[in-house]
Amino acid sequence: MATSPNQPINPDDSLPPVEPPSATFLVQLFLVPGVIVAIIVCVWLAFHWLAHLGNDPQAYVRTLRRANEGRWQAALNLANDLRGPTGSGLKSDTKLASELGSILDDEVGSGRIGEQSETLRLYLCRALGEFTVPEASPALVRRVIETNDDATTQAAVEALAVLSTNLENSGRSFRDQDAVVDAVLSASMSTNSGVRNACGFTLGVLGGEKSVVGLLRLLGDPATDVRSNAALGLARLGQTDAYETLSEMLSRQDVVLSSKASADEMQSERYKRALIFVNALRGVTMLVDATNQPPPTGVTTLIKDLQQDSVAEIRSSAAAVILKINRIVE
């Protein structure tokens, strides 16, 4: 019905009819957010529980034996606990070490593939390396010689280096040192340069005549990083054969990057350059300490030049080596 200009308008006449909310709307408004919140809380509680298993060895074992995707987090937490200040009791737990080795064997034997399984194996290897008892070594040795997965092999080789140092520091040793060295020597023939690189480091830690022979062979490796690690391993063992490769490392020319290189690429190259020089200087220091003799004249000259380098860490490291050499010469 039409209204005259002077007739007052009823507010109810200008509003659309109000309908009660539908069930679908109520579900979307209240139930869906509630479910999302519940899921977030459950996930948080799960990770909180995994992160606070504490120093209860069997709690770790029970969690790691469950077939679920969260096991890698428990393995990571265990590795961190073993490495942390409260892990001394766990480090010497022979039963835990043996059970972790069994879990690692079972995971590899299961044939499971994918990122979750690979991550679990890596963290189990890392955890085993943190022990101070020889019971942690058999499973790592098996993973070095029996596993076709390069990532797991490399992790096991690296863990053996850490375990060797931990055993030595605690007055213990491998029950079969030769078996450990033989396993790493076998892995050093891998077609994967990352595995060979890890072997170069670990052989330097293990020591012994067979390790020296393996490291000398790795000095001829086609991969620069492998040769460098082999030289550092030989330097750690007091073998002056390392000087030639150390000299190559100290002579490294800067890589000229394209003008289109990003800031991250340039920063990465600068970091790699500094790391190579500092490691080479560390190798020379180890040899000078082991032999109580100055390095070859050419190596000394290269080190003197590095005292003028643009990177402060390289300058200070070079100056420290020259000071050590001068004390011997004088």
Do residue 125 and residue 246 come from a single domain?
no
Cα of 218 vs its chain's centroid, Å = 22
**Mean local confidence (pLDDT), 285-298:** 97
Residue-level pLDDT at 293: 96
Q: Residue 302: pLDDT above 90? A: yes
Q: Residue 111: pLDDT above 50? A: yes
pLDDT tens readout for residues 168-219: 999 999 999 999 999 999 999 999 999 999 999 999 999 999 999 999 999 9
**Mean local confidence (pLDDT), 138-158:** 95
Q: Provide the pLDDT confidence category of residue 251 given band limits of 50, 70 and 90.
A: very high
Q: What's the mean per-residue pLDDT of the chain? A: 87
**Does residue 17 lie within any of the structural domains?**
no
DSSP letter for each residue of 175-228: TTHHHHHHHHHHHTT-S-HHHHHHHHHHHHHH-SHHHHHHHHHHTT-SSHHHHH
Q: Provide the pLDDT confidence category of residue 100 given band limits of 50, 70 and 90.
A: very high
Last residue of one domain, picked from the residues 124, 144, 175: 175
Which range has the top average pLDDT, 25-29, 72-76, 229-233? 229-233
Q: Residue 109: pLDDT above 70? A: yes
Residue-level pLDDT at 89: 87
DSSP letter for each residue of 38-78: HHHHHHHHHHHHHHT-TT-HHHHHHHHHS-STTHHHHHHHH
Q: Residue 56: pLDDT above 60? A: yes
Q: 277 is in which domain, residue-wise?
A: 238-255+264-330
Kindly report which listed range (51-60, 73-82, 167-176) carries the lowest average pLDDT score: 51-60
**Mean local confidence (pLDDT), 253-273:** 75
Do residue 57 and residue 152 come from a single domain?
yes
Tell me if 192 sits within 8 A of 181, measured CB to CB.
no
**Mean local confidence (pLDDT), 213-226:** 97
Q: Provide the pLDDT confidence category of residue 35 given band limits of 50, 70 and 90.
A: low
Domains in the chain: how many in total? 2
Q: Residue 257: pLDDT above 60? A: no
**What share of the chain in percent tops pLDDT 90?**
68
**Does residue 218 lie within any of the structural domains?**
no
**Does residue 59 lie within any of the structural domains?**
yes
Q: 0.85 cut: is pTM over it? A: no
**Does residue 199 lie within any of the structural domains?**
no
Last residue of one domain, picked from the residues 127, 160, 175: 175
Do residue 171 and residue 243 come from a single domain?
no
Do residue 134 and residue 250 come from a single domain?
no
